[in-house]
Structure 1
Amino acid sequence: MALWLETWKLAYPAIDFDKRVDWWRERWRTELVPVAQVVVAEHDGALAGFVTIDASGYLDQLVVAPAHWGSDVARLLMDEAKRLSPSGVTLKVNADNARAIRFYLRHGFVKTGDEVNASGRAVDVMAWVP
Protein backbone atom coordinates (compact mmCIF):
# COMPACT_ATOMS: atom_id res chain seq x y z
CA MET A 1 0.00 0.00 0.00
CA ALA A 2 2.74 2.47 0.94
CA LEU A 3 4.62 1.92 -2.31
CA TRP A 4 1.48 2.43 -4.41
CA LEU A 5 0.69 5.63 -2.53
CA GLU A 6 4.23 6.99 -2.84
CA THR A 7 4.54 6.36 -6.57
CA TRP A 8 1.10 7.64 -7.52
CA LYS A 9 1.60 10.81 -5.48
CA LEU A 10 4.81 11.47 -7.40
CA ALA A 11 3.19 10.75 -10.76
CA TYR A 12 0.10 12.89 -10.06
CA PRO A 13 0.85 15.49 -7.38
CA ALA A 14 -2.43 17.35 -8.02
CA ILE A 15 -4.51 14.33 -6.95
CA ASP A 16 -5.11 13.68 -3.25
CA PHE A 17 -4.33 9.97 -3.10
CA ASP A 18 -4.49 9.95 0.70
CA LYS A 19 -8.28 10.16 0.24
CA ARG A 20 -8.17 7.11 -2.04
CA VAL A 21 -6.37 4.71 0.31
CA ASP A 22 -9.54 3.00 1.54
CA TRP A 23 -10.78 2.64 -2.04
CA TRP A 24 -7.41 1.19 -3.11
CA ARG A 25 -7.33 -1.32 -0.24
CA GLU A 26 -10.84 -2.50 -1.12
CA ARG A 27 -10.03 -2.71 -4.83
CA TRP A 28 -6.84 -4.63 -4.12
CA ARG A 29 -8.65 -7.08 -1.81
CA THR A 30 -11.74 -7.64 -3.97
CA GLU A 31 -10.63 -7.04 -7.57
CA LEU A 32 -6.92 -7.73 -7.94
CA VAL A 33 -5.86 -10.41 -5.47
CA PRO A 34 -8.67 -12.87 -6.33
CA VAL A 35 -7.89 -12.87 -10.07
CA ALA A 36 -4.31 -11.74 -10.61
CA GLN A 37 -0.87 -13.05 -9.96
CA VAL A 38 1.18 -10.55 -8.00
CA VAL A 39 4.90 -10.62 -8.68
CA VAL A 40 7.10 -8.76 -6.21
CA ALA A 41 10.63 -7.47 -6.78
CA GLU A 42 12.92 -6.99 -3.80
CA HIS A 43 16.28 -5.31 -3.41
CA ASP A 44 18.33 -5.91 -0.27
CA GLY A 45 15.23 -7.34 1.43
CA ALA A 46 13.05 -4.30 0.72
CA LEU A 47 10.13 -4.01 -1.70
CA ALA A 48 11.39 -2.52 -4.97
CA GLY A 49 8.24 -2.99 -7.04
CA PHE A 50 5.39 -5.23 -8.09
CA VAL A 51 3.29 -6.14 -11.09
CA THR A 52 -0.18 -7.69 -11.29
CA ILE A 53 -1.29 -9.78 -14.26
CA ASP A 54 -4.48 -11.80 -14.58
CA ALA A 55 -5.23 -14.95 -16.57
CA SER A 56 -6.45 -12.94 -19.58
CA GLY A 57 -3.13 -11.09 -19.76
CA TYR A 58 -4.43 -7.84 -18.32
CA LEU A 59 -1.72 -5.93 -16.45
CA ASP A 60 -3.43 -3.71 -13.91
CA GLN A 61 -0.48 -2.44 -11.89
CA LEU A 62 3.24 -2.02 -12.54
CA VAL A 63 4.67 -0.08 -9.62
CA VAL A 64 8.36 0.57 -8.96
CA ALA A 65 9.80 2.36 -5.95
CA PRO A 66 11.19 5.77 -6.97
CA ALA A 67 14.61 4.75 -5.63
CA HIS A 68 14.64 2.12 -8.39
CA TRP A 69 13.39 4.25 -11.28
CA GLY A 70 15.88 3.89 -14.12
CA SER A 71 17.10 0.52 -12.83
CA ASP A 72 16.20 -2.90 -14.23
CA VAL A 73 13.33 -3.46 -11.78
CA ALA A 74 10.53 -2.36 -14.13
CA ARG A 75 12.03 -4.29 -17.03
CA LEU A 76 12.34 -7.45 -14.94
CA LEU A 77 8.75 -7.14 -13.74
CA MET A 78 7.54 -6.59 -17.31
CA ASP A 79 9.55 -9.57 -18.52
CA GLU A 80 7.87 -11.70 -15.86
CA ALA A 81 4.41 -10.43 -16.82
CA LYS A 82 5.12 -11.36 -20.45
CA ARG A 83 6.38 -14.78 -19.36
CA LEU A 84 3.19 -15.37 -17.38
CA SER A 85 1.05 -14.25 -20.33
CA PRO A 86 2.94 -15.45 -23.40
CA SER A 87 0.03 -14.87 -25.78
CA GLY A 88 -0.06 -11.16 -25.01
CA VAL A 89 -0.48 -8.44 -22.42
CA THR A 90 -2.97 -5.57 -22.36
CA LEU A 91 -3.09 -2.56 -20.07
CA LYS A 92 -4.54 0.88 -19.58
CA VAL A 93 -2.39 3.88 -18.72
CA ASN A 94 -3.36 7.47 -18.01
CA ALA A 95 -2.76 9.37 -21.24
CA ASP A 96 -0.79 12.06 -19.40
CA ASN A 97 1.63 9.55 -17.83
CA ALA A 98 4.38 10.14 -20.40
CA ARG A 99 7.02 8.27 -18.40
CA ALA A 100 4.95 5.09 -18.27
CA ILE A 101 3.90 5.34 -21.92
CA ARG A 102 7.55 5.68 -23.03
CA PHE A 103 8.40 2.60 -20.96
CA TYR A 104 5.58 0.54 -22.50
CA LEU A 105 6.50 1.62 -26.04
CA ARG A 106 10.14 0.63 -25.43
CA HIS A 107 8.90 -2.79 -24.36
CA GLY A 108 6.93 -3.48 -27.52
CA PHE A 109 3.48 -2.19 -26.60
CA VAL A 110 1.34 -0.33 -29.10
CA LYS A 111 -1.61 1.93 -28.46
CA THR A 112 -4.82 0.17 -29.44
CA GLY A 113 -7.48 2.56 -28.18
CA ASP A 114 -8.63 5.48 -26.08
CA GLU A 115 -10.95 5.44 -23.08
CA VAL A 116 -11.99 7.66 -20.20
CA ASN A 117 -11.63 6.24 -16.68
CA ALA A 118 -14.09 6.57 -13.80
CA SER A 119 -12.35 9.78 -12.69
CA GLY A 120 -12.87 11.35 -16.11
CA ARG A 121 -9.21 11.09 -17.13
CA ALA A 122 -8.15 10.08 -20.64
CA VAL A 123 -6.65 6.59 -20.77
CA ASP A 124 -4.59 4.90 -23.48
CA VAL A 125 -5.31 1.23 -24.06
CA MET A 126 -2.10 -0.59 -24.99
CA ALA A 127 -1.18 -4.12 -25.99
CA TRP A 128 1.89 -6.28 -26.45
CA VAL A 129 1.65 -9.30 -28.72
CA PRO A 130 4.69 -11.54 -29.22
Structure 2
Amino acid sequence: MPQTVKLRPYRLADEPAAVGLWQRSWQLAYPQIDFSQRLEWFREHWSGLQLDSRIVVAECETVPDHLAGFVAVSPRTGYLDQIVVAPEMQHRGIGKALIDAAKHLGREGLYLHVNKDNSRAIAFYRKSGFTIAGEDINRRSGAPVYMMTWRPAADLPPEP
Protein backbone atom coordinates (compact mmCIF):
# COMPACT_ATOMS: atom_id res chain seq x y z
CA MET A 1 0.00 0.00 0.00
CA PRO A 2 1.33 3.47 -0.79
CA GLN A 3 2.81 5.40 2.13
CA THR A 4 0.41 8.29 1.53
CA VAL A 5 -2.67 6.15 2.30
CA LYS A 6 -3.73 4.71 5.63
CA LEU A 7 -6.64 2.51 6.65
CA ARG A 8 -8.83 3.48 9.57
CA PRO A 9 -12.32 2.82 10.91
CA TYR A 10 -15.18 4.77 9.37
CA ARG A 11 -16.42 7.85 11.23
CA LEU A 12 -19.86 9.41 10.86
CA ALA A 13 -18.17 12.57 9.54
CA ASP A 14 -17.01 10.47 6.54
CA GLU A 15 -20.55 9.99 5.27
CA PRO A 16 -20.72 12.88 2.75
CA ALA A 17 -17.36 11.92 1.25
CA ALA A 18 -18.24 8.21 1.16
CA VAL A 19 -21.61 8.80 -0.50
CA GLY A 20 -20.02 11.16 -3.02
CA LEU A 21 -17.25 8.69 -3.77
CA TRP A 22 -19.80 5.90 -4.26
CA GLN A 23 -21.76 8.00 -6.73
CA ARG A 24 -18.69 9.19 -8.65
CA SER A 25 -17.18 5.70 -8.91
CA TRP A 26 -20.37 4.00 -10.06
CA GLN A 27 -21.12 6.83 -12.52
CA LEU A 28 -17.74 6.28 -14.18
CA ALA A 29 -18.24 2.51 -14.27
CA TYR A 30 -21.77 2.76 -15.73
CA PRO A 31 -22.07 6.14 -17.53
CA GLN A 32 -25.40 5.14 -19.09
CA ILE A 33 -27.05 5.15 -15.62
CA ASP A 34 -27.80 8.39 -13.76
CA PHE A 35 -26.53 7.61 -10.26
CA SER A 36 -27.74 10.95 -8.93
CA GLN A 37 -31.18 9.34 -9.20
CA ARG A 38 -30.00 6.56 -6.85
CA LEU A 39 -28.54 8.77 -4.13
CA GLU A 40 -31.60 8.67 -1.88
CA TRP A 41 -31.62 4.87 -2.05
CA PHE A 42 -27.88 4.70 -1.34
CA ARG A 43 -28.08 7.06 1.64
CA GLU A 44 -30.76 4.82 3.19
CA HIS A 45 -28.72 1.72 2.34
CA TRP A 46 -25.58 3.30 3.83
CA SER A 47 -27.43 4.07 7.06
CA GLY A 48 -28.39 0.39 7.31
CA LEU A 49 -24.84 -0.72 6.58
CA GLN A 50 -23.58 1.32 9.51
CA LEU A 51 -25.80 -0.74 11.83
CA ASP A 52 -24.66 -4.20 10.72
CA SER A 53 -21.32 -3.72 9.00
CA ARG A 54 -17.83 -2.67 9.87
CA ILE A 55 -16.58 -0.03 7.48
CA VAL A 56 -12.91 0.66 6.85
CA VAL A 57 -11.79 3.69 4.89
CA ALA A 58 -8.58 4.39 3.02
CA GLU A 59 -7.49 7.95 3.58
CA CYS A 60 -4.79 10.04 1.92
CA GLU A 61 -2.36 11.15 4.61
CA THR A 62 -1.17 14.08 2.49
CA VAL A 63 -4.74 15.36 1.94
CA PRO A 64 -6.59 15.17 5.29
CA ASP A 65 -10.17 13.87 5.11
CA HIS A 66 -9.77 12.76 1.49
CA LEU A 67 -11.25 9.29 1.16
CA ALA A 68 -9.30 7.17 -1.30
CA GLY A 69 -11.76 4.30 -0.82
CA PHE A 70 -13.78 2.21 1.58
CA VAL A 71 -15.03 -1.30 2.22
CA ALA A 72 -18.11 -2.41 4.18
CA VAL A 73 -18.41 -5.96 5.54
CA SER A 74 -20.90 -7.60 7.87
CA PRO A 75 -18.82 -9.62 10.35
CA ARG A 76 -22.02 -11.46 11.28
CA THR A 77 -22.78 -12.75 7.76
CA GLY A 78 -19.51 -12.23 5.88
CA TYR A 79 -21.27 -10.18 3.20
CA LEU A 80 -18.99 -7.69 1.49
CA ASP A 81 -21.57 -5.09 0.49
CA GLN A 82 -19.38 -2.27 -0.77
CA ILE A 83 -15.82 -1.76 -1.91
CA VAL A 84 -14.97 1.48 -3.68
CA VAL A 85 -11.64 3.00 -4.67
CA ALA A 86 -11.48 6.55 -5.99
CA PRO A 87 -10.82 6.38 -9.74
CA GLU A 88 -7.75 8.62 -9.44
CA MET A 89 -6.35 6.33 -6.73
CA GLN A 90 -6.75 3.02 -8.55
CA HIS A 91 -3.80 0.77 -9.37
CA ARG A 92 -1.93 1.88 -6.22
CA GLY A 93 -2.66 -1.12 -3.99
CA ILE A 94 -5.62 0.47 -2.20
CA GLY A 95 -8.13 -2.11 -3.42
CA LYS A 96 -5.87 -4.93 -2.24
CA ALA A 97 -5.43 -3.25 1.16
CA LEU A 98 -9.21 -2.87 1.49
CA ILE A 99 -9.82 -6.51 0.47
CA ASP A 100 -7.24 -7.61 3.03
CA ALA A 101 -9.08 -5.56 5.67
CA ALA A 102 -12.34 -7.20 4.59
CA LYS A 103 -10.77 -10.64 4.96
CA HIS A 104 -9.86 -9.82 8.55
CA LEU A 105 -13.41 -8.66 9.24
CA GLY A 106 -14.89 -11.76 7.63
CA ARG A 107 -12.36 -14.27 8.89
CA GLU A 108 -14.76 -17.20 8.41
CA GLY A 109 -15.23 -16.26 4.75
CA LEU A 110 -16.75 -13.59 2.56
CA TYR A 111 -19.29 -13.42 -0.19
CA LEU A 112 -20.42 -10.65 -2.51
CA HIS A 113 -22.45 -9.96 -5.61
CA VAL A 114 -20.89 -8.42 -8.72
CA ASN A 115 -22.52 -7.46 -11.99
CA LYS A 116 -21.75 -10.03 -14.68
CA ASP A 117 -20.76 -7.28 -17.10
CA ASN A 118 -18.21 -5.81 -14.68
CA SER A 119 -15.23 -7.78 -15.98
CA ARG A 120 -12.73 -5.50 -14.27
CA ALA A 121 -14.23 -6.13 -10.83
CA ILE A 122 -14.55 -9.86 -11.49
CA ALA A 123 -10.85 -10.04 -12.43
CA PHE A 124 -9.94 -8.09 -9.26
CA TYR A 125 -11.96 -10.43 -7.04
CA ARG A 126 -10.49 -13.53 -8.72
CA LYS A 127 -6.99 -12.14 -8.22
CA SER A 128 -7.95 -11.62 -4.56
CA GLY A 129 -8.88 -15.28 -4.11
CA PHE A 130 -12.64 -15.15 -4.76
CA THR A 131 -14.40 -17.74 -6.91
CA ILE A 132 -17.76 -17.66 -8.66
CA ALA A 133 -20.20 -19.68 -6.59
CA GLY A 134 -23.50 -18.91 -8.31
CA GLU A 135 -25.64 -16.55 -10.34
CA ASP A 136 -28.53 -14.30 -9.40
CA ILE A 137 -30.39 -11.15 -10.41
CA ASN A 138 -29.94 -7.84 -8.62
CA ARG A 139 -33.35 -7.22 -7.10
CA ARG A 140 -33.01 -3.45 -7.41
CA SER A 141 -31.60 -3.07 -10.93
CA GLY A 142 -32.57 -6.36 -12.55
CA ALA A 143 -28.96 -6.83 -13.68
CA PRO A 144 -27.54 -10.36 -13.78
CA VAL A 145 -24.91 -10.87 -11.08
CA TYR A 146 -22.44 -13.48 -9.90
CA MET A 147 -22.17 -14.46 -6.29
CA MET A 148 -18.48 -14.77 -5.48
CA THR A 149 -17.00 -16.28 -2.35
CA TRP A 150 -13.70 -16.31 -0.52
CA ARG A 151 -12.68 -18.84 2.12
CA PRO A 152 -9.63 -18.34 4.32
CA ALA A 153 -6.60 -20.52 3.99
CA ALA A 154 -5.47 -22.32 7.11
CA ASP A 155 -2.47 -19.99 7.33
CA LEU A 156 -4.34 -16.66 7.37
CA PRO A 157 -2.22 -14.21 9.37
CA PRO A 158 -3.55 -13.00 12.72
CA GLU A 159 -5.75 -9.93 12.85
CA PRO A 160 -3.69 -6.71 13.12
Q: SS at the partner of 2:57?
A: strand
Name the counterpart of 2:113: 92
Name the counterpart of 1:129: 151
Name the counterpart of 2:56: 39
Kindly indicate whether residue 70 of structure 2 is the aligned counterpart of residue 50 of structure 1: yes
Q: CA RMSD in A?
A: 0.8
Name the counterpart of 1:68: 89
Within 2, Cα distance between the matches of 1:121 and 1:7?
A: 18
Within 1, Cα distance between the matches of 2:41 and 2:102?
A: 25
Deviation at 1:110, TM superposition (A): 0.3
Name the counterpart of 1:3: 21
User: Which digits, 9 at most, give the CA deviation of each residue in 1:35-79, with x for residues without a partner?
Assistant: 000100011221100000002111000000001111110000000
Instruction: Kindly indicate which of the two structures has a greater share of residues assigned to strand.
Output: 1
User: Which digits, 9 at most, give the CA deviation of each residue in 1:60-111, with x for residues without a partner?
Assistant: 0000000111111000000011011111110001111111100000011000
- Listed as ranges, the gaps of 5+ residues in structure 2 are 1-18, 153-160
Within 2, Cα distance between the matches of 1:19 and 1:64?
A: 21
TM score, norm. by length of structure 1: 0.96
Q: Tell me which amino acid in the other structure corresponds to 1:112.
A: A
**Percentage of pairs with the same residue:** 47
Q: SS at the partner of 1:34?
A: helix
Within 2, Cα distance between the matches of 1:121 and 1:16?
A: 15
Task: Report how many residues are paired.
Answer: 129
Deviation at 1:6, TM superposition (A): 0.4
Deviation at 1:11, TM superposition (A): 0.6
- Listed as ranges, the gaps of 5+ residues in structure 1 are none
Within 2, Cα distance between the matches of 1:58 and 1:91?
A: 6
4+ aligned runs moved over 6 Å, structure 1? none
